[in-house]
Amino acid sequence: MNSSDFPVALVTGANGGIGKVICKELLSSGYRVILSFRKSERAVAFYNSLLQEYGAERIGCLEMDLSSVTSITEAVCVLMEKEQRLDVLVNNAGMLGYNMQVSAEGYEMHNMVNCLGPMLFTRLVKPLMHRGSRVVTTVSLALYYGSIPENFPYPHARFNRFRQYACSKLALTLLCLRLAELWKEEGITVNMADPGIVDTPILKLHKWIDPVADAVFRPFTRTPEKGADTSIFLSSDLSLRGATGGLYKNKKAGTLPEKITDHPYTDKVWCFLADLYSSVN
């Protein structure tokens, strides 16, 4: 079989704990999978291991740093030159940092990597999508505790890692809901997956740094395999054809509260993304 005979899935954060599981399961389900990651020895080793097992007709890679608008636009150009279609996009990459960081464009880093970067990439690769394509984005229960500040997406005067993480995941959810609404008529679905609290490298809660968080959350962590279940379900299950705008956990759709679905800052966040998209497209 040629590479064009397989449905195409692209997974960001492909070398992380959840990302690896998603890639392997989609490969087992018959997809050709494009692994997207920031270049590192670990990422390249994972790519090479899958390449050896499945062959070049089933595996591709796309180097991309979601903290950089330049890297995102360059990656999109590479993808557009190589691919004719994209059946599934899994926005899985994310971060939970310790210190205040700012992107090259001046955006608070959580907002860039967890929200603006993935959504900019999603909008830019839309020409590869078609009726039936699926966008699956990893969110977090932290979104329910987030708030959007007036100066979004720029740094807050007083940095708090959990506040910034929650803000970025809330903003990401608002953008996913708006995309689901806008793309529904075109048959492109946009859904969100809450993996729960997964024991992966992003979760580095050490007792001497985050004693309260460690005590509260560590007992409830789940394996990457369990955390990936819902994203895999949203990516490939036939029962979900046409389902869009949902937030799923444990393969079941939840009900978002009105404070999320009718958030007063949805337009603000959307307009910022729209301006960013227009500036590079």
Cα–Cα distance between 24 and 47 in angstroms, integer?
A: 11
- For helices 117-124 and 266-280, give the axis angle rounded to 10 degrees: 60
Q: What is the pTM of this model?
A: 0.92
User: Would you tell me which CATH number, out of the four given (3.40.50.1000, 1.10.760.10, 3.40.50.720, 3.40.50.300), belongs to the domain 3-280?
Assistant: 3.40.50.720
- Paired tokens of 103: 């992107």
Residue 61 CB contacts under 8 Å (≥ 6 apart), including other chains:
34, 35, 36, 37, 47
Confidence at residue 54, expressed as pLDDT on a 0 to 100 scale: 96
CB atoms within 10 A of CB 85: 12
Domain limits, the chain = 3-280
Confidence at residue 196, expressed as pLDDT on a 0 to 100 scale: 86
Confidence at residue 217, expressed as pLDDT on a 0 to 100 scale: 55
DSSP string, 47-88: HHHHHHHH-TTTEEEEE--TT-HHHHHHHHHHHHHH-S--SE
pLDDT tens per residue across span 86-107: 999 999 999 999 899 999 999 9
Residue 244 CB contacts under 8 Å (≥ 6 apart), including other chains:
180, 183, 184, 189, 190, 191
List the chain residues with pLDDT less than 70.
1-3, 198-220
Confidence at residue 55, expressed as pLDDT on a 0 to 100 scale: 96
